[in-house]
Amino acid sequence: VRWMMYWIVFALFMTAETFTDLLISWLPFYYEVKMAFVIWLLSPYTRGASLLYRRFVHPTLARREKDIDALLVQARERGYETALRFGKRGLNLAATAAIQAATKSQGALAGRLRSFSMQDLRSLPEQA
């Protein structure tokens, strides 16, 4: 549980840091403070990640639990519909390609057979 709290808080920190890094990285000792913050999060003595998770992240997730569940159900339904749509499209493309290949090969075979005259066919040695 401790590691779960750490990785959730660290992921939120990294997401926020991606956007704010460009704006405040010019401050003196910015990278040192950032490193100290990550060590504070990770340290078993300070338990910074547990503190932040229990004070901020968990209450926010608990308040929005119904919304999150609704979004997950909606994403699952959309994913199922998208998979069906792409599956149908893929099957249609495969069927079209198979039909085109069959018609082209049948046309080539018919053209090859038409190129032989009856005289050419009679001159072939008969097999016993």
73-85: pLDDT as tens digits = 999 999 999 999 9
Asked if residue 37 belongs to a domain, the reply is yes
pLDDT at residue 65, as a whole number: 93
Q: Is the pLDDT of residue 121 over 60?
A: no
Asked if residue 25 belongs to a domain, the reply is yes
Asked if residue 91 belongs to a domain, the reply is no
Report the Cα 91 to chain-centroid distance in Å. Answer: 21
Domain of 18, in residue numbers: 1-46
Asked if residue 79 belongs to a domain, the reply is no
Asked if residue 96 belongs to a domain, the reply is no
124: left (phi over 0), alpha (psi -120 to 50) or beta: beta
Q: Is the pLDDT of residue 119 over 80?
A: no
Q: How many domains does the chain have?
A: 1
The structure's pTM equals 0.56
Distance CA(121)–CA(123), nearest Å, equals: 5
Asked if residue 21 belongs to a domain, the reply is yes
pLDDT at residue 103, as a whole number: 75
Confidence label for 50 from pLDDT (cuts 50, 70 and 90): very high
Distance CA(55)–CA(16), nearest Å, equals: 18
Q: Is the pLDDT of residue 116 over 60?
A: no
Asked if residue 102 belongs to a domain, the reply is no
Residues 104-110: what's their mean pLDDT? Answer: 65
